[in-house]
Amino acid sequence: MHPLRLSLFVLLLLTVLGLSQEAEADDYTGDVVMTESTGPSFSGTLEEDEYVDFGYILENIDWDFTQEMRISHFDIVVSWEANGKPQYVTFNVSSENDTAGESQEDDGDGGTMTIIWAVNALPEGVNGSADSPDAFVSSFETNGEWMGGRFRNEKSNELDPAPSIKSVNFTISLTYYTWDIENIREGIKAKPDLYISELSFSNNNPEEGDVVTFEATVKLLGMNVSGEFEVGFFLDSEDGEQIGSVTVDGSNMSFGIQYKFKVSTTWKATSGSHTIYVVADSTNVIDESEEKNDLSKVITVGFEEDSNEPIPGAPTAIAGQDVSISPGGTVQFSGAGTDEDGSITKYEWDFDGDGVFEWSSNENGLTIFIFNNAGTYTSTLRVTDNDGKTATDSLTVTVKSSEEEESRLPSLSLLAVVTMLGIVSILRRR
């Protein structure tokens, strides 16, 4: 072969080999480190029916974190105080893909509301294939999404008594948590990594005997899995009583932090405070890079008042006396609670007996409610102590219509007939 041709052939071969080596990805494993940072905050005063928007809408405060690719989650907190009694405020947060909200009514003391906003939470360890350590870290970054919210001082013209001063003072603050990947190790073969990113309950404070649905979000990192595995739900420990299990076909999952796979099971609530554990691959059939597959959450279950075996150390709720009013009347609720081995940390009222506790306070059980429609209502007070144990007590609110009140007295025509009969009887005796 001609020397020039040989040189060109060797050069071409080396170039191809070099390109193939550059195209070959390496396997990496790294540890996830979280950092807490204080974000912006601002304060102000809102008159009745005024609101403040925050997020990219607010020009003078940089709340726009949509370009921050390594946000794990936010804590958004609003603290407020009312200048007149009572006041009603709402606080809502939303984004492109999700919505969360909370509202609070207070008798003048104000309060604090917190919304935890998950963006891109990672497990403690991650692994995968990439061309370089920087590319490995970048593979876990996701596009940020718009996030904003609104705090509003609602109209109070339907509250009784109406507040003399209808303004509220507020402070909105933000704490954000970012992640980074450290201690990156090269040459470790990529393996799948299953983990639970979220666990939610259909009812966070059920009563004994209620059926509660547990829903868990399973995520997969590293690489796909093709076989089946179990997601187990356990009571009070990972090795405790198994209360549910779901079989997942791994071929239906996609790996990547942005993909979610939902599983759920149901449980008949038993009284007391319990920790629910959910474990991905609970039977250990998948060879994973990380075996930290569990997530837990506490659920507090109340007990029936007529139970023969009350929970030891449970608090006592005192709702008060039954009440009778006319439509449109206001009831002053004076709920109380006692706890022999601790203290009461939360008071809640379900005014109309629909099972939804519309009002809550960490201070006391004193509040008011207007009943506009005639009927009989069971108003329930629920108290929670510092151990998470609960107790309930109820009173009856009877709202009597004007027709019902009048029906308890003889009609005018009946009174006239009775009077005439009395007169005739007297005349006959004469």
Tell me the per-residue pLDDT of 365-412, one tens digit each, with 9 for 90 and over. 999 888 888 889 999 999 998 888 888 999 999 998 766 555 554 443
pLDDT at residue 290, rounded to an integer? 72
pLDDT at 152: 84
Rounded to an integer, what distance in angstroms lies between the CA atom of residue 137 and that of residue 409? 82
Classified by CATH at the fold level, domain 316-399 comes out as: Immunoglobulin-like (2.60.40)
Does 191-302 match 23-188 at the fold level? no
In 3D space, the residue among 20, 55, 239, 23 whose CA is nearest the CA of residue 131 turns out to be: 23
pLDDT one-digit tens code per residue, 121-138: 777 778 778 888 888 888
For the ranges 68-82, 251-265, 269-283, 404-418, the lowest mean pLDDT is seen at 404-418
Q: According to CATH, what is the number of the domain 191-302? A: 2.60.40.10
Q: Does domain 23-188 have CATH number 2.10.260?
A: no
- In the chain, the percentage of residues whose pLDDT exceeds 70 is 72
Domain locations in the chain as residue ranges: 23-188, 191-302, 316-399
Query: Residue 271 in contact with residue 311, Cβ under 8 Å?
Result: yes
Mean pLDDT score across all residues of the chain: 76
Q: Within 10 Å of residue 30's Cβ, how many Cβ atoms?
A: 22
Confidence of residue 422 (pLDDT cuts 50, 70, 90): very low
Q: Is 175 exposed, middle or buried (0-12, 13-18, 19+ CB in 10 A)?
A: middle
CA angle 168, 173, 176 (to 5 degrees): 160
Q: How far is the first Cα of the chain from the last one, in angstroms, to the nearest whole number?
A: 156
